[in-house]
Structure 1
Amino acid sequence: MTAGTIMREHLTARSWRERCYSLLSLPLAALGLVAVVLTAIVGLLSAGLLFIPVLALTLRGDRAMGALYRLLARTLLRLEIASPPNPPRAPGLSGLMGQQLGDPAAWRVCLYLLIRIPLGVVQFVLGFLWWGYGLLFLCYPLLWKVEPLHGVDSAGAKHSFGIEISGYYFDTWPRALLVVVAGALVLVASPWPTRLPLLADRYLMPRLLGPTAASLRLAQLTETRAHAINEAAATLRRIERDLHDGAQARLVALGMRLGRAERQLTQGNLERSRSLIQQSRQEIKEIIAELRELVSGIHPPALDAGLGPALSTLAARSAIPTQVHLDLPERPPAAVETMLYFAAAELLANAGKHSEAKSVTVSVRSDKGRLHLLVADNGRGGVRLDGSGSGLRGLAERVRTADGVLTAISPVGGPTTISIELPAPA
């Protein structure tokens, strides 16, 4: 940092936010002390069943305190901390009590509030009082003249002063200017004493007020499980609809046509029966083709030869010239192959519809126990996962069910690179 930057640091927006946080630290520490003592007392009284609902309510209040601290961290410290997910709840009142009493996030908040009691005092002293005394020293001449103190030293001399240290009176202008200089130095240096105790908060808050890795994993598994169930139900409904509206209806029509051919044959009308049978044979070929197409939506036959030939088949059918690069030490499991195939098919279809690209590259490689599918095009870009009507969101959800991650890098004007990362089963 340059000298000018150091001199101006105490006036920056960050310093003012941290100063406000330090000012709030003392009353919040007192509030935290009340919450911790109340939780401890109610916890001890909960040895009798009568106070268990009160303890559950108290822990709910502790969790609300954690939400308040996360809000302050986000607003004043620019520290983003996700809210911990609620633990699963069993049905009934007992399930609600068990959810509240067994909530690890609420108990972690209690620990944080306990630590915050001395930490809040230190933050207030170093973060706000330090700055306050610097401002007081800077204004010392004004305070000295407006509200002076009066005293007599050991020699009997009278003094009109504002500050006195061990018999040394700051009651002259040179001495007053020394106090002003000290105040200016304290103000200039104030951001660093303020930030020192805040480092403890920046370390503790994400660990005690945020979600744990296990809770995030549990929430993700719960969400992906629900999505997988919905996706499977939607697939079954689609297959049922396609069979009912397609193959089933055509098979009914085929049966009726063969019945007509049978009647014509019984009546001796050979030409008419031959024509109906020929139409039926053609209908059978079309039904078989339709069923093959339906089955390919479940398990593409092209995957029987491996992922490489299947992707090459997709590239050959793509509306945009497409190159395929495959670098895998061994063939992935069937479920992973199917996921990569359908993801590549959807991304190629999206590129053909929206990208206006001249070429597309599809590559699959293995790196550190993860499989990477990259689909890159030189189109107009602007692809967003959170865009209105973005089909990538659905694909991202399906990738998450396989414990994968989808990312999109697509600046306006291109190029676009969609990356899908999946675990490579051992």
Structure 2
Amino acid sequence: MSGADMSLQPSTLRRLRHLLAALGPGLVVMLADTETGSVIAAAQSGAHWGYRMLPLLFVLIPFLYLAQELTIRLALGTGLSYGELVRRRWGRRAELASAAVLLLSCLGALATQLAGLAGIGQLFGIPAWQTITLLCSLVLIMVCTGSYRSVERIAICLGVFELAFLAEAWLAHPNLSQMAAQLSSLPLDNHDFLLLAAANIGTCVMPWTLSYQQSAMLDKGLTLDDLKPARMDTLLGAVLCQIITAGILIAAAAAFGDGAGGQSLDSIPDIAGGFTRLLGPTGGRLLFALALGGGALVAAIVVCLTSAWTLGELAGRRDSLEKHPLDAPWFYGGFAAMLAGAGALVASGVNLVKLSIVTSVANALLLPVMLAGLYWLSCRELPAPLAPSRRYRMALAPLLLLLAGFSLYAGIVGSLG
């Protein structure tokens, strides 16, 4: 080996280590994005409308990336979380209002995850309260005894199980000719279709995913040197998230008659029933449980961390997973309170599918406010090297406006229908 090769090798290894060290927040938040609510929205879309919602899922990829990329700029450019930036720019009242909306979104999302996990337990004859108690205890112990990096690694390992949805889509053998016919006929004037469209948007770009990534990058200690790998991390996650969601829709469309029957899925066992018809009672149930459970657990971790960071900021503290529970009572107390509150809501017997759809539509209705805040902060708070150029702002504004506008339109019209 020549001297030049020997000198290049350590540099290449350093760049690779730097890249791997920076990866994580974007991938985790995108794996959390493919959570119980997303599974329900995609499965309902496939059962009711066949493959007609597929174009929307893929069109959302650039919107998802562009929105999350703004959180990367703000985290690395200001060193502050979304809530801290809101307080600095608009004052304490605006921070309180923003936090209240975010925490309500987190509570609904977490209840959806726990209800989904309880539904998985019911598939195997385990009472819901036992499943919820066990999982909440394990998640709390994991967070209280770990660090951000260890929690991130566990979340990624859990999220890998979501790839089982792609296997299910492949094994479903979708009817390609029927798929092509349905994609050329989109019922954009149908209220039910618009409601599910709003739910799919609401489970793609969500307030808590935007807030989480910004805070997670700060907790992990990333700097401006990590800008490129952070963007790569987020882009990879956005593509993977929507491909997995599309796999869920395709499998559901094939399982429930390609949308011809307009079937209603009122529980996790109902949704799982379609997958068992495709893959058999044992294999289908197990594969579905692994895929849904992986995404739900990642989302539960992300939602709880988002809530804990938010509550800590309201108390004027920048808490972290690196701190001992006794040194960060607001952080760990908020984490535990969110788990307990969501667990109690699920134990009350709330309908999972209805809760999920309502939460998703609420996210779609709240999304314009969050996107407007991110856009404004990125234009006003970032230093020159990271601030969006005038050309980029002019291109980004109509895209975000389109996403926010359709989100509002679909959510309102669909709800009225």
In the superposition, the TM-score normalised over structure 2's length comes to: 0.20
Q: Considering Cα pairs closer than 8 Å and 6+ residues apart, tell me whether 1 or 2 has the greater RCO.
A: 2
In the superposition, the TM-score normalised over structure 1's length comes to: 0.20
Q: Normalized per residue, which structure has more helix?
A: 2
**Higher radius of gyration, 1 or 2:** 1
